[in-house]
Structure 1
Amino acid sequence: MSTPKHARYESRGPVPHDVIHPVQFELADPAEGECRVVVLAAPVNPSDVLTLTGEYGQLPPLPAVGGNEGVGRVEQIQGQAHGLAEGDIVLLPVGCGSWSTHLNLPTKALVKLPHDVDPVQLSMLTVNPPTAALMLSDIVDLQPGDWVVQNAANSAVGGYLLQLARKRGINVLNVVRRSSAVEAVRQAGGEHVLVDADDLPKRVRDLVGDVPVRLAVDCVGGVHTEHLARCLVPGGTVVNYGAMSGDRCMISPRYLVFNDIHLRGFWLAQWFRQASPERRQALFAELAGLVADGTLHARIQASYGIEHVRDAIQAAASGARDGKIVIEPNGPSRAAI
């Protein structure tokens, strides 16, 4: 076995890649009821970057190991197997510190996954796909043929939302903040791609005419929230799940009051706390099947080994990306695919 290493941070600060570094650690034998897992892939999400800067809504005590989701291979089982066997591919539990070469984890917390699927694609199953799926299903009662407008359409959640909407027969107006991002969204299947600006509502109406748009999905905040709100029919809803601009959501009373626009937030961690185990299991089973059959797929900008975790964080924090940054603690780096 190679020397165990993980990405550790003892403090938080405004430059996220400055506070984290690879550290060797001593890997104990699994305790009763635990599995030793070799981590195959773990993505870097915006929430991970915000955790390092101290700006996320839920922060682990320090010192901590980075990474909230990922996928691994079972290497050793101690005690009851709970249906698992050595060599199985498993989904890691949320918040386990997945930027590590090896982990000892409770066996009953692991979810068995298909063997014949790219582990990098499976590693992103826990956060972005359910966020996209739930914003399409739990905010507004959407039917086939309805329209949704989303910004940050070139983000991972934006890509998953587009793919899920297509499967459900829902039309999507995709908004990006820079013209260089348009082509990537089109290649991902986005038929309608617009660059955000103050005249966005007019250009949306030029595309859809009088068809009502009742849901807007916002990951940017600032004035961009209002740009989306102005695209909606009276009584429509803007759901915000991020703040890529770094600014608070802004909507004038002209739209919030007189157009009866509803602004609400979505945080997956809150949904996890409230949803029943049966609903969580059903959602992950559905999404895992869609990843396995190729319906759900995220573009990968680049992957990094654990030794280059600081480069991975710096790349993930960059605004000029058209794909996901992934850490493969025990594997080779790859170019964008």
Structure 2
Amino acid sequence: MWPLFTTVCLRSRAGCRSSVSAAGLTSLFSHSAPLSAPTCRALLYRKHGDPSRVLQLEDVDLPPVGAKDVLVKMLAAPINPSDINMIQGTYAILPDLPAVGGNEGVAQVVEVGCQVKSLKTGDWVIPKDAGLGTWRTEAVLAEDDVISLPSDLPLLSAATLGVNPCTAFRMLSDFEDLKPGDSVIQNAANSGVGQAVIQIAAARGINTINVIRDRPEFSQLSDRLKAMGATHVIKEEALRRPEMKELFKTCPKAKLALNGVGGKSATELLRHLQFGGSMVTYGGMAKQPVTVPVSALIFKDVKVRGFWVTQWKRDHSNDEKRFRAMLDELCRLIQQGQLTAPACSQVGLHDYSRALEAAMQPFTSAKQLLIM
């Protein structure tokens, strides 16, 4: 449940309950000018549908800062496919309406409640889970709903850390015991997840075979992915050609295949798995089902799995140390220059219509990032 408004109770601005006499209470509400609640600007939707039609930039009242709450100023928030699907009403989880869009982003703490222990003013934080509504200028959030990051991270990296790099990290860690020299094959290699997979794998000494669609600027894109650490970059058509035999003379067949496309592309990935390897599906950009050849199951004993980072976070919501360890490792890679943010187009919140239009184009080359 993602409440947009909360019931106002009598609190000090620091968030702790205060005691007021009857005379004092009368005095509080006897001013000639009405009390006005602080507000923020937010991209709000009251029904599901086409984001360009149902999203509106509005003034929204902020609730008081409770004893265990923090007031944050949003700094930047990306537009992800899951955000679009949530507004359309087609995602696996949906917030109560009305709701503020956005599930990812980075914010700075500007005020803390008197019982907050893990955060202080000035800290950078990101949501622990989906549904907080990040497309707004400020928010009052529970201390337990956010987790801190080093404030010296690049803004773009911090704003896009919570979904794609975490997805890449977990898929590289949780399905096969990958060692330096092993190989991973993936489609959608130019996506946010794909780029994070390339960089995290390179830091671990793992080969990546990266599949992308043919395009006029293929050579430039291939060079960019190799500069990130990609071992091989190939076109989808190459998966069905004899040249793959030459490729596997330079690195072993893949233990792990990562599928963000579906359809024939996923089926072709399976052909290049080792015996007993795993294919993990985390997306379906082609909007086509995954077909698994019977021979792959019988004669190669492949494993076909799925992954959703939101479910992982919820399954491990009580395991703060594991979540913290993942973020610390990702932040270390960022600070060492081994993990960079995907290409982003920075757009002001007031210009959200243009950002939405760009984000909804198929196979976009740059992530749209709302700057508050």
TM-score (norm 2): 0.82
Partner of residue 19, structure 2: none
**Which SS does the other structure have where 2:352 is aligned?**
helix
**Which SS does the other structure have where 2:76 is aligned?**
strand
Give distance in 2, aligned partners of 1:59 and 1:248: 23
Partner of residue 89, structure 1: 124
Matched, 1:231 2:272: yes
When residues 182 and 128 of structure 1 are mapped into structure 2, their CA distance, relative to the original with a 3 A threshold, is farther
Partner of residue 255, structure 2: 214
Give distance in 2, aligned partners of 1:233 and 1:92: 37
| Partner deviation per Cα, 1:48-106 (whole Å, 9 max, x = no partner) | 12212222222222221111121111112221231433222222332210111000011
Partner of residue 284, structure 1: 327
Partner of residue 53, structure 2: 18
Partner of residue 16, structure 2: none
**Which SS does the other structure have where 2:110 is aligned?**
strand
Q: What is the CA distance between 1:241 and its match in structure 2?
A: 0.2
Match of 1:58 among 83, 93, 100: 93
Matched, 1:245 2:286: yes
Give distance in 2, aligned partners of 1:165 and 1:201: 25
Matched, 1:125 2:161: yes
When residues 255 and 108 of structure 1 are mapped into structure 2, their CA distance, relative to the original with a 3 A threshold, is closer
Q: 1:327 is aligned with what amino acid?
A: L
When residues 181 and 37 of structure 1 are mapped into structure 2, their CA distance, relative to the original with a 3 A threshold, is farther
Partner of residue 107, structure 2: 72
Q: 1:254 is aligned with what amino acid?
A: S
Partner of residue 214, structure 2: 178
**Which SS does the other structure have where 1:132 is aligned?**
helix
Matched, 1:115 2:151: yes
When residues 119 and 301 of structure 1 are mapped into structure 2, their CA distance, relative to the original with a 3 A threshold, is closer
**How well do the aligned residues superpose, as a CA RMSD in angstroms?**
2.2
Partner of residue 12, structure 2: none
Give distance in 2, aligned partners of 1:22 and 1:260: 52
Q: What is the CA distance between 1:126 and its match in structure 2?
A: 1.2
Partner of residue 13, structure 2: none
Q: What is the CA distance between 1:42 and its match in structure 2?
A: 1.0
Unaligned 5+ runs, structure 1: 330-337
| Partner deviation per Cα, 1:276-328 (whole Å, 9 max, x = no partner) | 22211211121122223322112233022222223222212222422322111
Moved more, 218-227 or 200-209: 200-209
Partner of residue 260, structure 1: 301
Query: 1 or 2 for the larger relative contact order (CA 8 Å, sep ≥6)?
Result: 1
Q: How does 1:188-199 map to 2 (within 5 A)?
A: 188=225, 189=228, 190-197=230-237, 199=239
Q: Is the 8 A contact 2:262 2:285 kept in 1?
A: yes
Give distance in 2, aligned partners of 1:195 and 1:318: 21
Partner of residue 27, structure 1: 62
Partner of residue 325, structure 1: 368
Q: Is the 8 A contact 2:207 2:231 kept in 1?
A: no
Moved more, 78-87 or 231-240: 78-87
Structure 1 or 2, whichever has the larger Rg, is 2
Give distance in 2, aligned partners of 1:257 and 1:93: 40
Moved more, 123-132 or 204-213: 204-213
Give distance in 1, aligned partners of 2:145 and 2:86: 23
Percentage of pairs with the same residue: 35
Q: Is the 8 A contact 1:21 1:310 kept in 2?
A: no
**Which SS does the other structure have where 1:285 is aligned?**
helix
Give distance in 1, aligned partners of 2:101 and 2:149: 23
Q: Is the 8 A contact 2:105 2:126 kept in 1?
A: yes
Moved more, 195-204 or 148-157: 195-204
**Which SS does the other structure have where 1:58 is aligned?**
coil
Q: What is the CA distance between 1:198 and its match in structure 2?
A: 7.0
Matched, 1:310 2:353: yes
Partner of residue 332, structure 1: none
Matched, 1:273 2:308: no
Unaligned 5+ runs, structure 2: 1-37
Q: Is the 8 A contact 1:165 1:171 kept in 2?
A: yes
When residues 144 and 325 of structure 1 are mapped into structure 2, their CA distance, relative to the original with a 3 A threshold, is same
| Partner deviation per Cα, 1:199-224 (whole Å, 9 max, x = no partner) | 44643332113823221100001111
Q: Is the 8 A contact 1:5 1:100 kept in 2?
A: yes
Q: 2:234 is aligned with what amino acid?
A: L
Q: What is the CA distance between 1:181 and its match in structure 2?
A: 5.0
TM-score (norm 1): 0.90
Give distance in 1, aligned partners of 2:305 and 2:203: 25
Give distance in 2, aligned partners of 1:132 and 1:292: 18
Moved more, 161-170 or 122-131: 122-131
Aligned length: 328
